[in-house]
Structure 1
Amino acid sequence: MCRWLAYSGTPVLLDTILYKPAHSLIDQSLHARMGVETTNGDGFGIGWYTQTSGIDTPAVMRDVGPAWNNRNLREIAQHVTSPLFFAHIRASTGTAVQQTNCHPFRHGRWLWMHNGSIAGFHEMRRELCVAVEPSLFPGMEGTTDSEVMFYLALTLGLEEDPPGAVARMVGLVERTGRAHGVENPMQMTVAVTDGESLWAFRYASGGGARSLYYSTRVDSLRALHPDVSFLQELSDETRLVVSEPLGDLPGAWNEVPEHSYGVVRPGDDHLRPFVPAA
C-alpha cells in the first residue's frame, strides 16, 4: 500500500516534517513499520498551499522515482514554507508507475490522497468511471482507484459536504463491488482538504483498516515535554495526521479509531463515526 502525512498549523519548512523526524515519511519510504510493504518506492508527491495573495490553488509536485533519493524533493523541502501540506509515498497495488498515478490529486482548491485499495477495481472500473459527473471526467488523468474515488466524491458533493460525499462515494463503491461478487471492496485511509479545513477518514468494508494516527494537542505536548524546543514554535492549532507515527515521543500520537473520520480546522477539531451512505 502507501504511506502519507497531512500537516496543518504554523507555517513550517517542508523539510522540518518530511526529513527531520526520526521516523520521517522519507524514512518510511524505505522502512515502513505498519504498512503492507516495508518499501514504498513507486513514486511520491507533495501538495502545498501558500499564503501568497491571489493564488487560490495548491502547488503539486509528483514523480515516479522513490522519495528517498530525489534531489528535487530535497531542494523543494528546504526552501518551501507552508501552513498546510500533503505528502504521499506510493506502493502500487497494480496500476502503472507513472506521474498521473501519484498522489496527491488536485481539483481546484482541493487535494486528495489515499492509502488502500478497491478490491476488484479492474472489474468494476468502467462502471465507477461512468458514475463520474461528465464535466469532471476530463480531469481524470491516471488509472488508479484512488483518483476515481476522488472524482466520485467530487461528483457526490465533496465541495459542499466532504463527510457526506465520502460516505456516498464509499456506499456506491460497496454496492458496485457486491454486484460484482466482492463482499468487502473498500480499504482506505483518506485525507482531503480545501486549504482551510482537513478531513481524514479510516474505514474498511470488512474491518482491519490500514493504520492512521493524529498528533496530540500542542499545548498538552508542551506540558509533557517542556524541554522540546520545536514545540515552543508551534501554535496550539497545529496538527499532523499520519499513516504511522513520525517518532517515539511519549504521548505524541493517538490512533484514529476504525470507521471514523476527523476534522482539523482552527478552533474546531473533532472525531466522528463514519458510516457509508445507503
Structure 2
Amino acid sequence: MCRWLAYSGSPLLLERMLLEPEHSLIDQSLNARLGAHATNGDGFGVGWYGEGQMPALYRTTRPAWNDPNLAELSRQIRSEMVFAHVRASTGTAVQQTNCHPFRYGKWLWMHNGAISDFQKVKRELVLAVAPDLYPEIEGSTDSELFFYLALTFGLERNPPAAVARAVGFIEQVGQGHAIAHPLQMTVAVGDGRALWAFRYASSGRSRTLFYSSDPATLRWRYPQNPIFREIDDRTKLVVSEPLGSTRGVWNELPNAHSCTVRNGGIEISAFKPAASI
C-alpha cells in the first residue's frame, strides 16, 4: 500500500524531514519495512501550508526516488505543516489526480489502506457524497472518495466525528455486499492549524502508525543531535513507520485510536466507527 508523513511544528525545510532522515520517506518509497509492499513507486505528493489561504501541492506519477524536482523544492520550501505521501496503487490508475495528498479548500487528506472490493461498493459510496462536493472529485481512488465522504459528514466542523461517520458508512455499505472486512486505513487530515491522524481496520489488524516524542525530552537525551536542537517544543511528526532507529523517538499509536496535534500538544483517543445518520 502506501507510506506517509505528517509534520506540524516550527518552520522546517522539507529536506530535513523528507530527504535527510536515516529511513526517510524517499527511502521508504524503495524499501518500506512495515508496509504491505516494500516498494511504493506509483507516484508521490507533498502538500504544505505557506503564504496563501490554501495549501500548495506538488504531485507527480514519477517515483519519489527519481524526481530531481523534489530535491530542488525541498531545499527551499519551509513550512509549519507538511503532508507527504508515497503511493502503491491498490488497483486504480497511476495518474496525477490519484496521488495524495488530496486538497479541498484549506484541508489536506492522505490515506494508507483500501476500501475492500471497491468496484462493488463504489456507486453506492459515490451517491452518498453531497451534490455540491461531487464536482470537486478529480481522480478515481477510494482514498479521495473517502475524503469527500468525510467532508459530506461534517469534516470541516468536527474532523474526528466526520471520519467516524464516514468509516461507519463504508462498513455499512460493505457489509451490505457481504464484504467481511470493508476498510483498512491510516488517515491524516489537517487544516493548517491542527492535524488529526487515525488508525483503524475492520479486521482489527490495521497498518502501523507512529508519533514522535516530546522534543524537549529528545534534546535532553541527545544534546548533540542537530535536528532536535533545530525544532521547537510544539513540533510533532506522525508517520507510517519510523524515520530512524534512535531510541525513544517514536511511539506506536494503538490500533483503533486517533491522535490530535494542536498548539504543540498531542491527544490520543480511542476511535470507533459511528452511524452515518
The TM-score bracket by the shorter chain reads: over 0.9
Deviations 1:84-116 (A, max 9, x none): 010000000000000000000000000000000
Q: Contact (CA 8 Å) 2:130, 2:152: kept in 1 or not? A: yes
The residue number in structure 2 matching 1:194 is 191
Match of 1:148 in 2: 145
Matched, 1:270 2:267: yes
- Please report how far the alpha carbon of residue 267 of structure 1 lies from its aligned counterpart in structure 2 after TM superposition: 4.4
- Is 2:204–2:255's contact at 8 Å kept on the other side of the alignment? yes
The one-letter code sitting in structure 2 at the alignment partner of 1:258 is N
Q: Secondary structure in 2 aligned to 1:163?
A: helix
Indicate yes or no: 2:99 matched with 1:96: no
Q: In the alignment, which residue of structure 2 is the partner of 1:24?
A: 24
Partner SS for 1:76: helix
Counterpart for residue 237 of structure 1: 234
Hey, what does 1:161 align to over in structure 2?
Answer: 158
- Counting aligned pairs with the same residue, the percent is 57
Equivalence for 2:124: 127
The AA in structure 2 aligned to 1:134 is P
Q: Give the CA RMSD over aligned residues.
A: 0.7
Q: CA deviation at 1:188?
A: 0.1
Residues 234 and 265 in structure 2, CA contact (< 8 A), matched pair in contact too:
no
Q: Match of 1:269, SS?
A: strand
State the partner residue of 2:213.
216
* 2:48 aligned with 1:48: yes
For structure 2, the residue ranges without an aligned partner over 5 or more in a row are: none
Structure 1 position 172 matched with structure 2 position 172: no
Kindly provide the CA deviation profile for residues 122-168 of structure 1, in whole angstroms up to 9, marking residues without a partner as x: 11101000000000000001110000000000000000000000000
Verify the 8 A CA contact 2:19 2:26 in the aligned structure 1.
yes
**Aligned mates of 1:90, 1:267 — CA distance in 2:** 29
1:139 matches 2:121: no
Q: 3-state DSSP class of the match of 2:130?
A: coil
Looking at structure 2, the residues matched to 63 and 105 of structure 1 have their Cα atoms a distance apart, in angstroms, of 13
Aligned residue identity for 1:142: G
Q: What letter corresponds to residue 194 of structure 2 in structure 1?
A: S
Find the residue that maps to 1:115 and give its secondary structure. strand
* Matched pairs, number: 275
Structure 1: which amino acid aligns with 2:70?
A: L
Once residues 34 and 265 of structure 2 are traced to their aligned partners in structure 1, the CA distance between those partners, rounded to angstroms, is: 29
SS in 1 for 2:223: coil
Structure 1 runs (4+) deviating above 3 angstroms are none
* Structure 1 spans left out of the alignment, 5+ residues: none
TM-score, normalised via structure 1 length: 0.98
**Is 2:212–2:249's contact at 8 Å kept on the other side of the alignment?**
yes
Query: Which residue of 2 is the match for residue 109 of structure 1?
Result: 106
Could you tell me whether the CA contact under 8 Å between 2:199 and 2:255 is conserved in 1? Answer: yes
Question: 1:216 corresponds to which letter in structure 2?
Answer: S
CA distance in 2, matches of 1:100, 1:267: 32
Paired with 2:14 and 2:79, the residues of 1 have a C-alpha distance of 7
**Amino acid in the other structure paired with 2:76:** H
CA distance in 2, matches of 1:66, 1:240: 23
Amino acid at match of 1:97: V
Three-state SS of the structure 1 residue aligned to 2:90 is coil
Alpha-carbon contact 2:61-2:96 (below 8 Å) kept: yes
The reply to whether residue 59 of structure 1 matches residue 56 of structure 2 is yes
Counterpart in 2 of 1:6?
6
**Secondary structure class of the residue paired with 2:211:** strand
